Structures are given as structure tokens and as C-alpha cells.
Structure 1
Amino acid sequence: MHIKQMQLKVVENKGTLYGLLILDEQNQANLLFDIETKELKISGNNALTQFLLANEFQLRKLLHNKRSDSYYVGFQLNFSMIDGKDIAAFNNRDNIIVKDLRDITVIQNSKKRDLTEVYTDASYDEKHQQAAYSILKKDLDGRYEAHEYNSECKDSSSTELQAVIKALEIYHGDIRIMTDSQYVRKGITEWMVHWKLNNWCTANGTKAKNIDQWLKLEWLCEGRRVEFGYVKAHNNHFENEYCDLMARIKRESMKKEN
């Protein structure tokens, strides 16, 4: 996995059309990007422009994900891209994303190996700022083991993240995490590698949230194979529905205690 580090600068603005400059250690590329029509033009004929053209899908994703208010002359961002990354495979929610040692790969669900599966889900009540989460392990013999915990987290995403961290603390060895949180799944397998290289900055130039939790999750993945699968929430999936129910029951019990 070859990761290329670069810098992006917004150098010109005419209405919705922005002139962008991308630089690496040796070359630069000039871009024109319209934030409304999403039209992109890459100019130049050097190694950097060839890299950007070969990985245009990744570049477009970065530019599309930037908030419109982060496009202004003088904006600068250090960023990185993975050469040859199969965006379609990573975006396919039916696929399994594998974090094995320092490698991150994608496999089709139909080709997954037999592994203990752990389902996680969180429940957060914004009005009362109360959170809880549930963990359900399914071993290779089809036997289940469940846990529920209260959480001090103050939003849904960080509670989902805490649930996965707890699951990896409880269960050791190779494992498959099944979650309905794209924030968790994409964060550990796609976004974090770039955040770490770029001072934990997002495409908008702001700091990523929950940095300590991400670092702990990464540490818990070290030295073993951890697979991340996605399950659609509220879709009559037994394990996910069970975790959702138990997390809500655990959270509701906090009101009674108070």
C-alpha cells in the first residue's frame, strides 16, 4: 500500500469555480473545480498530475466531501491518497474490510473465513444526554454471549466507537466486528491512516473527533486479524436488532436509577 502525501492550496476563486494547487516534494498540479457542478479539470504533464489522474476518484471524493465554506483563497490542507485504491470495493457495504497487522484489504462477503463474530450497537438519548451500548458475541458453534454497558459519551458516534473498543478488549484473537456504524467502519479502515499522516486534520482542515478513542482502537487491533463488516440497522437482522434493543433497555434503565 503506497501512500502519497501532498498539499492542497486554494489559490483563486471566480463564483463557484476555484483554482487549486496541489504540490508534492517535486512537482505541482493545477486544478479547476466547480463546487456546484463538481466539474474537475487537472492540468499539467508530470508525475504528480499522472498520479492524480490515475487516482481521480479518490481526489474527487476528497473535494466533494469538503464543506463549501472551506473553499476560500488561502485555505491549505496537507492530505494523502493511496495509490490504486479500489474505491468501489471499499464503498460496497456488502464487503468485509480486513485490518491484518498493518495491511488493510477488502474481501467479498461470500469469501470470508470462519471467525468469531461480535455485533455491537449503541443507543444515545440527546435530550437527557444518556448513552449505553450492547455487545453480542456469536462463536463458531452458534452460541451467544451478551454484554450491556452504560456510557459517559455525549454523542451517538463516540458511543458506537466505545462499543467496538470494549468488544476488542473483551475478546482476543482474530475476530469479525459487525456494526451498523459507517463512522466506525470507515474511520478505522480508511480515514485514520490519513488523519495520522496529516496532523489529525479532516478534508475541511478541522481536527478529527475522538482521537484518543481511535488510537486505542488501533492499538487493540495490533497483532491480530480484525475484520469489519456492515449490517444495516433496523432491517430485521436478528443480532443487530438484539443489540439495538438491549442498548436501549440499558439506557432506559439509567433514567430509573436517576
Structure 2
Amino acid sequence: MSNDFLDIYTDGACKGNPGVGGWGVLMRYGSHEKTLKGAESHTTNNRMELQATIEALSAIKRPCKIRITTDSVYVKNGITQWIHSWKKNGWRTAQKKPVQNAELWQQLDNLVQQYDIEWAWVKGHSGHPGNEVADTLANEAIEQWREQHQG
């Protein structure tokens, strides 16, 4: 990976869907790394995938070129393809139903406008190093949440 990009790896996880969910982020710029993670009590996997990407972009301190790698087709296709129609249709799907997680999509849309972002998809649980770290962080966040709230 070139130093020209801030590489971001995001993942979400959910124990039950809905259930306790976690998100994880690995950010890498040259030799610098930062990790982020968090959890919510009653959520879905898709919401956690979106939250991971929102948290990553919210943590950026200065303009740069970004490469976001996700294992979520929902996030990648949603932000690069589907969102244009949703916005044109007043946040409704082609079937005229409200877009699920519209408030998160709107947050993400506002954030992506600020950056030059290249989107990449990888198959989840396929051994991709950045994705595996993000997945581990998301699951750690779930376990930490459970220990704090059920112990």
C-alpha cells in the first residue's frame, strides 16, 4: 500500500440480528496505525457496518486521499450507487418504502462529501489482514459491552 492513501478497514458484527452489535476500524497511513471500536445494545449488522465507516471518517483530522476497504456490499454499493436514487426519491427505495438506516446514510453521505475516497470490497473472513483486524475489534467491542452490562 502506498503512502499516498489513508487506508481504512471497517467491519461490523452482531450477536443476534438484531442484537448486541459492535464495529471496528483499522486506520493505516504509512507506518502509523490507529484502531477504533464501539458497541450498541440493540442493533443490526448493517447498522454496525455503517457505524464503523462513519466513525472512521469522523476521526480523520486533515484532508487526504482515502481508501476504504469493507466486506459489506451494503455499505459499498449503498454509498457508491444506491444513495443517488435514494436522495432523488426523498430517501425512499425504488419500491417507495423508506430507506432503512436513513439517518446513518445521511451522516455517511455528509462525511464522504469532504474527502477523495476510493472504495474497495473484500470477502469477509477470507484472511484479508486489515479486514480481520477490523472484525476482531468489532467482536472485542461486543464482548466488552457484554462484560460491562451483564456481569
What is the TM-score normalised by the length of structure 2? Answer: 0.87
Match of 1:249 among 128, 131, 140: 140
- 8 Å contact from structure 1 (residues 153, 159) kept in 2: no
Stretch of structure 1 that moved more, 216-225 or 187-196: 216-225
Taking the TM superposition and a 5 Å limit, the aligned residue runs for 1:202-241 are 202-241=93-132
**Structure 2: segments with no counterpart, 5+ residues:** none
Aligned AA (1:177): I
Alignment of 1:150-161 (within 5 A): 150-152=39-41, 154-161=43-50
Say whether the 8 Å CA contact 1:137–1:144 is kept in structure 2: yes
> Are positions 1:176 and 2:67 aligned together?
yes
Q: Distance in 1 between matches of 2:53 and 2:42?
A: 13
Q: CA deviation at 1:157?
A: 0.3
Cα 1:127–1:230 shift into 2, 3 Å: closer
- Report the Cα distance in structure 2 between the residues aligned to 1:215 and 1:195, rounded to whole angstroms: 10
For residue 11 of structure 2, what is the aligned residue in structure 1? 121
Give distance in 2, aligned partners of 1:148 and 1:162. Answer: 10
Q: 1:130 to 1:175 in 2, by over 3 A?
A: same
Tell whether the 8 Å contact from 2:20 to 2:41 is kept in structure 1 after alignment. Answer: yes
- Relative distance call for 1:217 and 1:185 in structure 2 (3 A) is same
Cα RMSD, aligned residues only: 2.0
Task: Give the deviation of 1:114 after TM superposition.
Answer: 3.0
Name the amino acid aligned to 2:76: R
Larger-gyration structure (1/2): 1
Whose helix proportion is higher, 1 or 2? 2
Corresponding letter in the other structure for 1:236 = G
Whether the aligned pair in 2 keeps the contact of 1:134 and 1:148 (CA below 8 Å) is yes
Following superposition, the deviation at residue 127 of structure 1 comes to 6.9
1:247: how far off? 1.1
Give the Cα–Cα distance (whole angstroms) in 2 for the partners of residues 128 and 218 of structure 1: 24
- Asked whether the equivalents of residues 123 and 247 of structure 1 are also in contact (C-alpha less than 8 Å), the reply is yes
* 1:153 Cα offset (Å): 5.5
Corresponding residue to 1:198 among 76, 86, 89: 89
Are 2:21 and 1:131 aligned? yes
Matches within 5 A, 1:139-154: 139=29, 141-152=30-41, 154=43
- Separation in 1 of the partners of 2:17 and 2:69? 28
TM-score of the superposed pair, with normalisation by structure 1: 0.53
CA–CA distance in structure 2, aligned partners of residues 126 and 241 of structure 1: 20
Cα shift at 1:132:
1.2
Structure 2 counterparts to residues 14-93 of structure 1, below 5 A: none
C-alpha displacement of 1:128: 7.8
Q: 1:164 aligns with which of 39, 49, 53?
A: 53
* 1:196–1:128 Cα change, 3 Å: closer
Q: 1:182 to 1:214 in 2, by over 3 A?
A: same
Residues 1:223 and 1:248: Cα distance change in structure 2 (over 3 Å): closer
**Displacement after TM superposition at 1:143 (Å):** 3.1
Higher normalized contact order (CA 8 Å, seq sep 6+, divided by chain length):
2
